[in-house]
Amino acid sequence: MRRTLRALVVSSLATALTASACTGLGEPSPDETPTGAQVGPIRSFVKEDSLGGPAPGIRGAKSGGTVTVLGTTDFDSADPQATYRGDAIVVYTQLILRTLTGYYEEVGSGGNIRIKLAGDLATDTGRSEDGCRTWTYRLRANIKFQDGTKITSRDIAYGISRSFDRRLSSGPQYLQKALTGRDDYRSVYSGPFDNNGAIAPGISTPADDIIIFRFARPFCDFPLAATLPTTVPVPADRDTGPGEYGRKIVASGPYRIESWTPGQKMVLVRNGNWVADSDPLRHNYPDRYVFDWSSSDPVSTSERVIDDEGGDNSVIQWGAVPANGLDRVLRRLNAKPTKAQAVEGHASVSFHISINTQRVTDVDVRRALQYAINRRAILELVGGGHNKYVVTPSSTITSPTVPGYRRYDAYPAPLTGNVQKAKDLLAGKTPTLRFCYRPGTQTRDQIANATKQSLERAGFRIVLSPTDPQDHLALIGNRAYAMNNPGCDIMTTSWAQDYPSNATVMGVLMRGGDSIRAEGNLNWSYLDVPAVNDELDRLAAEPNVQKAAEGYMALDEKVMRDYAPLIPIYYGHVFSLVGNQIGGMFVSSAWGSVSLQDCHCRDQGPTLRGAGRSAARIQGLLIRCNI
């Protein structure tokens, strides 16, 4: 994830550190277990090349009504190709726009999630016959823009091509780098606006319903990367340019934009030219969606759902119950009568402290850091004593929502740490380390001080070095800043997958070689081990999804045991409230936001679905159904 989905994940963890969306860690007592809470601990991933429209009907769903989404912040980018924030991707790709491939998340008993990767605009997930270097797609029939114009392969090619423009660089960049074979892809091609409308290299459109991609290196995850908004079709003759087009989007999904006042309100209405039989992934049960970004306090939102007054039994809190309201929410959920229910599940965001391996070169010093850290002190500062509902202690680079995840602990210790083990590894050394952290809130400063205190117990000398809170990631990703005086030895960081593949976790955080450059580094540990790089290349070229997933997880453990490049602190969690008049709601395991895939109004009985990734990414939102 780059500036939005990834950097927002990072900033959402930073937001969590303000205690606005998280509590702490530790098991709740039995009388605190909320009524109706369900957790989806199992996530499976399959390709469904035969999936055809329409999307499976939802039992009990009613057609009609207005769904109102109340929140605090408009999307950071309105342009589809520049969109990289979890909640924006959900709204765009589930309601307004279609992509080459996509997901249908099937929720089973107990809230278990099965992610189905399928063709969206394409008939299947793609065909490759040369080791994932070339991918061919045939488009579905009856795929149309909102004005009734047929969507062709050229519209998809143009949409991808415009993503190369520097003004859209806040969006995903997997395809741009893969098509050019370069991280600095704009040195090869800089978009149709600078190239007289020519499409990007590596893409050909031999027919209206055929699009072919040719990559310099194997790209076996391309069908997953094609789910990102990079592949949203854009009609060239309607493109008013980066920025402007974002407010005049031509819809291809079940809804179109009726009006949008930036920062205030967006209204969606049904797209009359969307054909359900051509779409295996989406529904259009509500008549309208109204997104209202008026100020909304998440605590009062929680109370409103619990109070169940004035029709508020048909609301969903989109985002986490905040720490300062969790005690009251838990008590009231267990009190009768209440129609509110809890929806919870794992999030895919992981918070860690990265170790600059090119400055902290002694692996035993890095191992000592693993034992010296007092996780409990940090977790308590995140929010308090109901940690099960917010975060869980982590020991891996990969989070539990990534396919292939396997729990292990290379440095087992109590949550408070093992100081003696750390001292043994230091063998009398007293390393001075500069700790670069994002400041800006009291909680972040408290966490930095708690980290300093816990590490100094073992003999480390920690120098706190607050960065610019607005540019923390850019600074620690700048090699000169991280390496040179004063430099950064350890750094606060966090991450979540871009799509359900460890290529977007291990393949980003631990890749060295040419991926370590002057600026924009995402490998904040600056780990550069040829054997690790080679294994990442091998796994990227592995066409068997299961084998690749197992291989990435094996590499995760080897990297932690042999190189100790970061200190895992916690995995994120989702805990939200829902009334009983809206059905089909769950937290998307693919996108880390409350899903609108199956949203509908209904007459009775709550639909509880637990799953998820970064709840902190959407603050204080609720949905109300009005029929």
Q: How many distinct structural domains can be found in the chain? A: 2
For residue 297, pLDDT over 80 is answered with no
Instruction: Give the 3-state DSSP-derived string for 291-329, with helices as H, strands as E and coil as C.
Output: EECCCCCHHHHHHHHHHCCCCHHHEEEECCCCHHHHHHH
pLDDT value, residue 3: 36
Q: Which of 260-269, 356-365, 424-433 has the lowest mean pLDDT?
A: 260-269
CB 86 within 8 A of CB 593: yes
Are 206 and 256 found together in one domain?
A: yes
Are 405 and 421 found together in one domain?
A: yes
Are 264 and 403 found together in one domain?
A: no
Domain contains 45:
no
CA of residue 491 relative to chain centroid, distance: 21
d(CA 502, CA 164): 25
pLDDT tier, 332 (very low <50, low <70, confident <90, very high otherwise): confident
pLDDT value, residue 529: 98
Sheet (strand 210-214) strand order: 134-138, 210-214, 203-207
Are 200 and 170 found together in one domain?
A: yes
Are 584 and 561 found together in one domain?
A: no
Q: What is the CATH number of the domain that holds 201?
A: 3.40.190.10
Domain contains 489:
yes
pLDDT value, residue 113: 80
Are 428 and 512 found together in one domain?
A: yes
Domain contains 318:
no
* ω into 54 cis (within 30 of 0): yes
How long a stretch of residues is the chain?
627
Domain contains 33:
no
pLDDT value, residue 338: 62
d(CA 186, CA 191): 8
- Residue span of the structural domain in which 244 resides: 5-16+57-294+575-626
Its sign, for the CA torsion 488, 489, 492, 495, is positive
Are 580 and 434 found together in one domain?
A: no
Q: What is the CATH number of the domain that holds 553?
A: 3.10.105.10
Question: What is the per-residue pLDDT across 573-612, written as a single tens digit (0 to 9) for each?
Answer: 878 777 777 788 887 878 777 789 998 887 544 433 333 3
pLDDT value, residue 224: 94
Are 101 and 241 found together in one domain?
A: yes
Are 581 and 447 found together in one domain?
A: no
Question: What is the per-residue pLDDT across 4-61, written as a single tens digit (0 to 9) for each?
Answer: 333 333 333 333 332 222 222 233 333 333 333 333 334 567 888 889 999 999 988 8
Which of 123, 136, 133 is closest to 212 using CA atoms?
Answer: 136
- What is the DSSP secondary structure assignment for residue 167, as one 8-state letter? G
3-state secondary structure of 37: coil
As a whole number, mean pLDDT of residues 369-374 equals: 98
pLDDT value, residue 622: 60
Mean pLDDT in the chain? 84
d(CA 40, CA 606): 16
Domain contains 440:
yes
Question: What percent of the chain has pLDDT above 70?
Answer: 85
Domain contains 255:
yes
